[in-house]
A and B are shown apart, each in its own frame.
Chain A
Amino acid sequence: GAGVSQTPSNKVTEKGKYVELRCDPISGHTALYWYRQSLGQGPEFLIYFQGTGAADDSGLPNDRFFAVRPEGSVSTLKIQRTERGDSAVYLCASSDRTGEASYNEQFFGPGTRLTVL
């Protein structure tokens, strides 16, 4: 079946601009995650959605970053007043509903490579 998809695959923008990154999770997956991967680093957690609500946004670096998932499926990560330091690959992942006792595998999308000039 179809995996996690992300659009655009590449985004080049200028410092100070606003960008939106889209994630389409695997159909039926209720949990959705955003991670950011800088060059030479592993992915870093940004935010986790269970259904429509952000259950944990503790990884968002500052208030320029915001994410929504209004209908519990597609999610959009929004970055205001972009800075050069925001340049990274933004990865989205989805999984079956997480539980207290078990871990459900997170399946990653191909990512959006954001470059802020």
Chain B
Amino acid sequence: RKEVEQDPGPFNVPEGATVAFNCTYSNSASQSFFWYRQDCRKEPKLLMSVYSSGNEDGRFTAQLNRASQYISLLIRDSKLSDSATYLCVVNSVSGGSNYKLTFGKGTLLTVNP
């Protein structure tokens, strides 16, 4: 089983739609959780961190369920500019340091006019 698994996608949605991405992780020792965004042929960039209490940033809402080892990202009122690959990322403590990122394969989102 892969350490981080995401919806395979791709997702094609019209502008204004709500879209949800799901992700599961296998390492129960994982400490920090993130969603990264990667535009075509560009580097990944941090979109938002994910907390157990859930967190929201404008149109984006992230949720974490530690018991189920499940992470989600919801995008409301999607825009053309949201088109990108969304990467679920988990960070595990290793050797006393909190640095090692494990990425999912990513889910491609295309928002259509």
Residues of A within 8 A of B (CB): 31, 33, 35, 40-45, 48, 50, 55-56, 91, 95, 98-106, 108-111
Contact = CB atoms under 8 A, between A and B. Distances in A.
A110 B101 CA distance: 17
B44 interface: yes
A110 B41 CA distance: 8
A110 B42 contact: yes
Contacts, number: 62
Interface residues of B, number: 25
A103 B94 CA distance: 12
**Which applies to chain A's interface (DSSP): helix, strand, loop or mixed?**
loop
Given A31-B99, A33-B99, A103 B32 contact: yes
B105 interface: yes
**Which applies to chain B's interface (DSSP): helix, strand, loop or mixed?**
strand
Interface of B: 4, 31-32, 42-46, 87, 89, 91, 93-106
A115 to B, nearest CB: 14
A8 B89 CA distance: 27
A106 B91 CA distance: 11
A41 B105 contact: yes
A43 B31 CA distance: 19
B30 to A, nearest CB: 11
Contact of A103 (B31, B105, B106): B31
A103 B91 contact: yes
Given A43-B87, A56-B100, A100-B96, 10 more contacts: A42-B103, A42-B106, A43-B101, A45-B101, A45-B102, A56-B95, A98-B99, A100-B93, A103-B99, A108-B45
Contact of B105 (A40, A55, A98, A99): A40
Most buried by B among A31, A50, A108, A111: A108
* 9 nearest A-B pairs in the assembled complex, by CB-CB distance: A42-B103, A108-B43, A98-B99, A103-B32, A98-B97, A103-B98, A43-B103, A42-B105, A110-B43
Contacts of B106: 41-42
